[in-house]
Structure 1
Amino acid sequence: MSTSYQLIKGRVPLLISMPHNGQEIPEDIANKMTEQAKQVPDTDWYKDKLYDFAVELGAYILIPKYNRYVIDLNRDPNGVDLYPGANSTELCPTTAFDLSPLYRDGYMPDDQEINRRIALYWQPYHQAISTTLDEIKQHFGQAVLLEAHSILSHVPRFFEGRLPDFNFGNADGKSCSEMMLEKVQSLDFSPYSMISNGRFKGGFITREYGQPANKVHALQLELSQITYMNEASLEYNETLAAQVKPKLKALVECLIEFAQDTRD
Structure 2
Amino acid sequence: MSWLHVERADTPLILAFPHGGTEIPEEYLPAFRSRDLALLDTDWHIRRLYDGLVDATFVWTDISRSVVDCNRDPSGVSLYPGQATTGLCPTETFDGVPLYNEGTAPDVEARRLAYHQPYHAALANEIERLRARHSRVVLYDCHSIRGVVPRLFDGELPELNVGTDNGTTCDIALSDAVIAECGPRWSVLNGRFRGGWTTRHYGQPESGVHAIQMETAMRAYLDESPLAEGRAPAWDDGRAAGLRTDLARILAAVLDFAKGRP
TM-score when normalising by structure 1: 0.94
Match of 2:28 in 1: 29
Q: Tell which deviates more after alignment, 164-173 or 135-144.
A: 135-144
Partner of 2:91: 94
Q: Does 2:97 match 1:63?
A: no
Contact 2:182 2:250 in 1 (8 A): no
CA distance in 1: counterparts of 2:37 and 2:97, whole angstroms? 12
Match of 1:17 in 2: 16
> 1:193 is aligned with what amino acid?
W
| AA at the equivalent of 1:65 | D
Q: CA RMSD in A?
A: 1.4
1:227 corresponds to which of 220, 224, 230? 220
Residue 189 of structure 1 and its aligned partner are, at CA, apart by 2.4
Q: Secondary structure at the match of 2:28?
A: helix
- 1:1-12 superposed matches below 5 A: 2-12=1-11
Query: Which amino acid letter does the alignment assign opposite residue 160 of structure 2?
Result: F
Q: Which amino acid aligns with 1:60?
A: T
- The amino acid that maps onto 1:247 is D
Q: 1:43: Cα distance to partner?
A: 0.2
C-alpha distance in 2 between matches for 1:122 and 1:136 = 22
Selected match of 1:197 from 186, 190, 203: 190
Contact 2:67 2:111 in 1 (8 A): yes
8 Å contact kept, 1:153–1:226: yes
What SS does the aligned partner of 2:259 have? helix
What is the match of residue 181 of structure 1? 175
C-alpha distance in 2 between matches for 1:77 and 1:188: 32
Q: Which residue of 2 aligns with 1:151?
A: 145
Q: In the comparison of the two structures, how many residue pairs are matched?
A: 256
Q: Which moved more, 1:64-73 or 1:100-109?
A: 100-109
Whether the 8 Å contact between 1:4 and 1:125 is mirrored in structure 2 is: no
Q: Is the 8 A contact 1:30 1:38 kept in 2?
A: no
Cα distance, 1:135 vs. partner?
A: 0.5
> Which residue of structure 2 lines up, in the alignment, with residue 124 of structure 1?
118
- Residue 65 of structure 1, CA deviation: 1.2
Q: TM-score, normalised by structure 2?
A: 0.94
**1:243: which partner in 2?**
242
Runs of 4+ in 1 over 6 A off after TM superposition: none
Query: Which of the numbers 121, 124, 136 marks the counterpart of 2:130?
Result: 136
Deviation at 1:262, TM superposition (A): 5.8
Structure 2 counterpart of 1:235, which letter?
A
1:37 CA displacement:
4.7
**CA deviation map 1:136-182 (0-9, x unaligned):** 11012221000000000000110011000000000000000011111
The structural deviation recorded for 1:38 is 5.2
